[in-house]
Amino acid sequence: MKSIKKLFYSEIIIFVLIFSYFLISFKYDLARVYFLILAILGLTFLILGIILTIKAKKEKGNLRIFLMISGISAIAPFLGTILHNLFYGLAIAFQNFKFFFEALHVTFFIISLIVAPILFIIGILGTIIEFNKNSN
């Protein structure tokens, strides 16, 4: 349980750092320097999400559900971005199926930028509530 808490709180810290990158406006030169840091944070967020999802399988009840939501929603932006770009490229390459591929690339874009962060916040709140229930 202690390792899961460390993973979970590390995910929260990285999420806040990534989110704050997009809220703070930088001069162009600084944005390029900080982008490398953002890429490292994003990769770390993905890896921690995978580990958290695997470790969450051992838990029971609502804690397992909320940990799984947190872990999967940390993985979703990476996969959603790859699929978004793949379907965008396919929409350009195959004009006959353009409408279908454009619908898919927009769907995965929305999942990456809107749905996954909202689910991560829901997972955070639920997991913190379950941690507090279990500690009493």
Give pLDDT tens digits for 51-90. Answer: 999 999 998 889 999 999 999 999 999 999 999 999 999 9
Domains: count for the chain:
1
Report pLDDT for 54. Answer: 93
Identify whether the C-beta of residue 135 lies closer than 8 Å to the C-beta of residue 81. no
Give the whole-angstrom CA distance, residue 72 versus residue 67: 9
What is the arithmetic mean of pLDDT over 2-19? Answer: 90
For residue 59, is it left (φ>0), alpha (ψ between -120 and 50) or beta? beta
Report pLDDT for 130. Answer: 92
pLDDT for 3 beyond 90: no
**Percentage of the chain modeled with pLDDT above 70:** 93
The average confidence (pLDDT) of the chain is: 89
Q: Which domain holds residue 33?
A: 2-135
Q: Give the ranges where the chain is alpha helix by DSSP (H).
A: 2-23, 28-56, 61-93, 98-110, 116-135
Extract the tokens encoding 107: 């769907």
| 125 DSSP 8-state letter | H
